[in-house]
Amino acid sequence: MSLTVEAYDASQILTPGAGYLGEYDYSLNPYVGCAFGCSYCYAAFFAPFDKQASWGDWVRVKRNAVLKLSRMRRSLEGKTIYMSSATDAYQPIEQRLELTRSLLPILAARGACLVVQTRSPLVTRDIDLLRQFEKVCVNVSITTDSEEVRRAFEPRNPPIRARLDAAAEVAEAGIPAAITMTPLLPVDEPRRFAEQVAATGAHRFVVDQFVGTTGHFRAGTGKEAICLADRFSWDAERYERARDVLVSRLAPDIREGEAGFSPGYLLSNPSPRS
Ligand code: SF4
């Protein structure tokens, strides 16, 4: 698979929060497109129509992102920012470009409150900068306990063990971490999975099921992922059974769906858990 990379000047770097992320002041996407190319990616629905089929094979880099952010006049003090809503800020190209890394000190210096959403262990590279935020949370996506399932739905993603270890490293560094099991994919052993994610030291957990595709202009789960779910016999009933096990082990620090992404939840102090 070859990746097409294109740099361009974006008209803006911060987008007002809306929809699922309506409680955030802004979302921030350093890139457009995502080389992780997950089969269920909702963001693919927001790509230009002619680029949706090749989602995962191209990335556009906002080469003016640092300039735009540093020249921004409006105050970011106490503003909540979700990074990222339609890309992964730590996808492989970030290793070389360090664009996300360049944005972090600007956000921290301006007093922003940041939620980072990623599935990449590369986020641990920036622990030094994430420490500079007064309020921050690193959400690590871990969607299953099965490498077979992971390879089917997310073949270009880092392995599960690497993501668990990354979350643990973030938490160990004193940076609040959350595990987002969204969408929850077929799980072999829900109880063991709950133990694995709890062992990372993350302080928040989020679980959610697929969003059904309802039309051309609404984000939803791609056809490929729906077929895969059928192949693994993953239906609403099995999801609910797995969810109930996760909730019983991880309560009170687990939420389902949109409520789990609330900045008030992710950026608040952890409650003591046994
Ligand atoms: S990592 Fe996130 S943005 Fe990237 S393809 Fe997967 S779901 Fe989409």
pLDDT at 212 over 80: no
The residues pairing with 117 across neighbouring beta strands, listed in sequence order, are 139
271 is a domain residue:
no
Could you list the residue range(s) of the whole structural domain that residue 100 is in?
A: 4-266
79 is a domain residue:
yes
232 is a domain residue:
yes
- The Å distance, Cα 86 to ligand 1 centre, comes to 7
Q: How many domains does the chain have?
A: 1
Give CA–CA dist 174/94, Å, rounded: 23
177 is a domain residue:
yes
72-122 pLDDT, tens per residue?
999 999 999 999 999 999 999 999 999 999 999 999 999 999 999 999 999
273 is a domain residue:
no
260 is a domain residue:
yes
- Prior bond of 75 cis (ω within 30°): no
**CATH, residue 165:** 3.80.30.10
Q: Cβ < 6 Å from ligand 1: which residues?
A: 34, 36-38, 41, 43, 87-88, 119
Mean pLDDT for the chain?
94
175 is a domain residue:
yes
Residues in Cβ contact with 51 at an 8 Å cutoff, skipping those fewer than 6 apart: 33, 58
**For ligand 1, atom 3, which residue shows the shortest CA distance?**
87
pLDDT at 220 over 70: no
pLDDT at 48 over 90: no
The residues pairing with 173 across neighbouring beta strands, listed in sequence order, are none
Looking at residue 216, its pLDDT comes to 47
Looking at residue 269, its pLDDT comes to 76
249-268 pLDDT, tens per residue?
999 999 999 999 999 999 99
274 is a domain residue:
no
Query: What's the whole-number mean pLDDT along residues 11-27?
Result: 96
The closest-lying atom of ligand 1 relative to the alpha carbon of residue 34 is: 4
**For ligand 1, atom 6, which residue shows the shortest CA distance?**
38
Comparing CA positions, the residue from 147, 171, 170 lying closest to residue 158 is 147
